[in-house]
Chains A and B, each alone.
Chain A
Amino acid sequence: MEPLAIADKLKKKFPDDVLDIVEARKQVGVILRRDHIVEICGWLHDDPDLLFDHLLGLCGVDYRPKGRGFEVVYNLYSIHNRHMIRLRADIPEDECWLDSVIPVWRGADWHERECYDLLGIEFRGHPDLRRILLPEDWQGHPLRKDYPLSPTKKTEWQGYEELKELSKALRVHGFQQESSNSKTAQHLVKEAGNGGT
């Protein structure tokens, strides 16, 4: 089916949930209210004309600088029917949650964990929602637009400071002190360089 026809069919089935249909470069995105996302996904997955069996990807976008909230984007593909559609669930800024679509696509598990980790969107009904790429004690969600590109001392990961101190403590017993008795490493390098020329 043509992507626009799929979007129209979706709008006929769920008229209250579809907010907008946008097209760019022959790809169609359907902007949805978030309330019935699992129902909509389940219908797309099971409808015999559509059969969207493959979840290509799931990611979040922070639209707050543009004056909107967040968005979770589902790229769906039907291996059987060879067509594609994109769902974009609109999420208000102050209530950052969405229902999990794991009952529809098992593979959404890690995508949702990643989205939670990097953007702080909570997926309700997820069996094991915890950080995946970043350490468990990380503060903040890096892909939010207000997260700084390079951290200050305050916003830096606490574990990094601990590692630095650990390496300082190890250096006391290390190579530098032992070699200072005779010649420093720099001297050795210099001599070797002179000998060569």
Chain B
Amino acid sequence: MAALEQRSMEIPIPAQEKELFALKMGPQHPATHGVLRLDLFLDGETIAICKPDVGYLHRGFEKIAENKSYAQFLPITDRLDYIGAMANNVGYCHAVETLLNIEVPERANYIRTIVAEMSRISGHLLWLATHALDIGAMTVFLYCFREREILLDLFEELCGARLTTSYTRLGGVRQDVSALFMDNLTKFTDDFPTKIADYETLIDTNRIWLKRTQNIGVISGKQAVQLGFTGPTLRGSGVDYDVRKHRPYCVYDRLDFQVPLGRKGDIYDRYLCRMEEFRQSVAIIKQCLEQLPPGPIVNDDAPDLIMPITPQRKVAADSIGSSGIIQLMEDRNIYMEGDVYVSTEAPKGELGFYFVSDGEGRPYRMHIRSPSFIHIGGIPAICEGEMVADVIACIGSLDVVLGECDR
């Protein structure tokens, strides 16, 4: 007990920082969107030094992955970015399929594109709700959650879960879409554009909103690339980089959509980019619903099996070599030795998986390139020089999730 107290007292402060006012923000702070701690050193009300501290939610996913089979790790990807679990599922399965060279049926690819875009909309809705709430616009929060509820209900209709979906499978998806799902989703895509207009009337030209977001948290395109930013955070600075266009996966190369870009790279531009992405996502879903072909939803040669209804015995980590997936992979000769890096465009940015395989049924090493980790690493570049009241707006505009950051 004594040791605990002693340690918390020993936070090292460099000599030149001693005259600055030290403010510890978080980890239990409602506006940090999770367990993020910022060590701020203030000169008056201006931030002189900002040091983010992460790791409060570290669960050792990369170590877990080394001790589980490829299929067993899928439910854990839900817990990365827990707001857009579908996008993580799609990203993970796409990466493993590239590694093991598994073909995905056409219909499954379309369904994956639909659910990935749905998760982008629901992720952006939660971002808009909380970001507006942080800045002080309460009403938008309620409006956004109303629409997000519809999407979560659709996920429930599709796979039984609202947040931790685990919907995709290696080589396809778990279940086919139902008629009810199709009807409700079509209705949603018809209604949603008018809802976006509703949000925009509330805040787009609101004087307080403009004052709090324009010319604040500016980051130039060059700087953003240097820091490794991706997703809407990078595109807000005017850099045209979207994995869906640069390295198309699923069926994105067959769809017609735009990638919105900002100009100045301030909070307002990042906001505009995400608002436009709502419309583009709706357009993508509409095209997919029109083009959705009939056919199988899971590859017959897929190593992953439809989840057994009767519970199986637990397989100890060491005896994994004898589990069913290895046998299947040996029978069909699909394992490989080597390494791949495959990424997808998740709602927050580029979600990449780097696999090293030595020919076993589990990864030898798996690294998750999570966008939030890199964006939080860039917070000092955005915040230093800004006022302390704008820190919350800056964090909100980056759209970070700590589950993904800490892994």
Residue numbers of A with Cβ under 8 A of B are 22, 24-25, 27, 29, 53-57, 59, 61-62, 66, 73, 75, 79, 82, 84, 86, 105-111, 114, 118, 131-135, 137, 142-143, 147, 149, 158-159, 162-163, 165-166, 169
Contacts and interface: CB of A to CB of B under 8 A. Distances in A.
Interface stretch (B27-35, B175-183, B271-279, B366-374): B366-374
A179 B117 CA distance: 52
12 contacts: A25-B99, A27-B339, A59-B367, A75-B341, A75-B354, A75-B369, A82-B246, A105-B226, A106-B381, A132-B55, A147-B63, A162-B3
Nearest to B222: A53
B367 A169 contact: no
A56 B239 contact: no
A133 B54 contact: yes
A73 B356 CA distance: 11
A46 to B, nearest CB: 13
A57 B352 contact: yes
Interface in B313-359: 317, 336-341, 343, 350, 352, 354, 356, 358
A24 B369 contact: no
Contacts of B60: 142
B1 A56 contact: no
Interface string B47-65: 0000000110010101100
Interface in B371-402: 373-374, 376-378, 381
Contacts of B7: 137
A57 B365 CA distance: 14
A118 B367 CA distance: 11
B78 interface: no
Contacts of A147: 63
B106 interface: no
Given A24-B340, A57-B354, A143 B241 contact: no
Contact of B54 (A82, A132, A162): A132
B24 to A, nearest CB: 15
Given A56-B352, A107-B229, A110-B374, 12 more contacts: A22-B338, A29-B339, A59-B365, A75-B352, A79-B241, A105-B226, A106-B381, A118-B62, A134-B55, A142-B60, A162-B3, A163-B4
Contacts of B3: 158, 162
A120 to B, nearest CB: 14
Which one of A107, A135, A137 has the highest number of Cβ atoms from chain B below 10 Å of its Cβ? A107
Contacts of A105: 226, 228
Contact of A57 (B62, B369, B378): B369
Contacts of A53: 225-226
A130 to B, nearest CB: 10
Given A109-B377, A110-B373, A134-B55, A27 B365 contact: no
Contact of A86 (B55, B225, B341): B341
Contacts of B365: 59, 61-62, 143
Contacts of B226: 53, 105-107
Contacts of B225: 53-54, 79
Contacts of B98: 25
Contacts of B227: 106-107
Contacts of B246: 79, 82
Contacts of B358: 66
A38 to B, nearest CB: 16
B78 to A, nearest CB: 20
A27 B341 contact: yes
B46 interface: no
Contacts of A165: 1
A56 B228 contact: yes
Given A56-B369, A61-B365, A107-B377, A24 B338 contact: yes
Contacts of A166: 1, 4
Contacts of A108: 228
Contacts of B336: 24-25
B339 A169 contact: no
Nearest to B405: A133
Contacts of B340: 24-25, 27
Contacts of A137: 7
B101 interface: yes
B67 interface: yes
